[in-house]
Amino acid sequence: MSSNGVFIADATGDTMMDGGGLNPGWGVSNYPDGLPMPHANLFLPMPGDSNIYILIHQVAEIAAPVGLDALEIYYSIIDISQNGGLGKVVSKNNVALTGVFSWGYAACKHANGRDWWITAMNDVANGLHTFLLTPDTLQYLGLQTFPSQNFPYGFAGQPLFSPDGTKFAFGGSYGINGMNYQSSVTLLNFDRCDGTFSLDTVIDFSDNYVSFASAFSPNSKYLYFASTEHLYQYDIDAGGLIPHQLVATNDTFLSAPPVFYTDFFQLYLAANGKIYMSSGSSVKHLHEINYPDSSGTACDVQLHNVFTNCFFIGVPNHPNYYLGAKTGSPCDTLTSINDPPEHDFRFKVFPNPTMDGNFNILYLLPQNQPGKLEVFDINGRRIYEMNLPHWSAMQEVSLLKSVSSGVYNCVITSGVERGRMKVVVYR
Residues 183 and 265 in one domain: yes
Q: Residues 291, 273: contact at Cβ < 8 Å?
A: no
Which residues of the chain, if any, have pLDDT below 70? 62-68, 152-154, 176-179, 335-345, 367-368
Nearest to 302 by CA among 231, 356, 235, 233: 231
pLDDT score recorded for residue 68? 67
Residue 321 in any domain: the answer is no
Residues 300 and 371 in one domain: no
Residue 296 in any domain: the answer is yes
Residues 270 and 392 in one domain: no
pLDDT score recorded for residue 336? 52
Instruction: Find residue 376's DSSP bridge partners.
Output: 382, 409
Residues 131 and 243 in one domain: yes
Contacts 24+ apart (CB under 8 A), 24-28: 24/59, 24/93, 25/59, 25/60, 25/61, 26/59, 26/60, 26/61, 26/62, 27/59, 27/60, 27/61, 27/68, 28/59
Residues 268 and 356 in one domain: no
How many Å apart are CA 288 and CA 372, to the nearest integer? 23
Residue span of the structural domain in which 397 resides: 346-425
Residues 352 and 267 in one domain: no
Residues 383 and 279 in one domain: no
The residue among 257, 290, 312 that closes a domain is: 312
| Cα end-to-end distance, the chain, whole Å | 38
Residues 295 and 210 in one domain: yes
pLDDT score recorded for residue 388? 85
Residue 114 in any domain: the answer is yes
Residue 339 in any domain: the answer is no
The residues, any chain, with a CB within 8 Å of residue 258's CB and separated by 6 or more, are none
Q: What is the pLDDT of residues 410-426, one digit of tens each?
A: 999 988 888 889 999 98
Residue 327 in any domain: the answer is no
Residue 19 in any domain: the answer is yes
Q: What is the pTM of this model?
A: 0.84
Secondary structure of residue 175 in the 3-state scheme: strand
Identity (one letter) of the amino acid at 126?
Answer: N
pLDDT score recorded for residue 231? 96
Residues 172 and 219 in one domain: yes
pLDDT score recorded for residue 179? 66
Residues 301 and 355 in one domain: no
Q: What is the pLDDT of residues 225-250, one digit of tens each?
A: 999 999 999 999 998 788 899 999 99
Domain count, the chain: 2
Residue 73 in any domain: the answer is yes
pLDDT score recorded for residue 337? 44
pLDDT score recorded for residue 389? 76
At 405, which CATH number?
A: 2.60.40.10
pLDDT score recorded for residue 77? 98
Residues 180 and 68 in one domain: yes
* Chain mean position to CA 53: 18
How many Å apart are CA 269 and CA 159, to the nearest integer? 13
The residue among 264, 289, 312 that closes a domain is: 312
Residues 244 and 378 in one domain: no
Residue 138 in any domain: the answer is yes
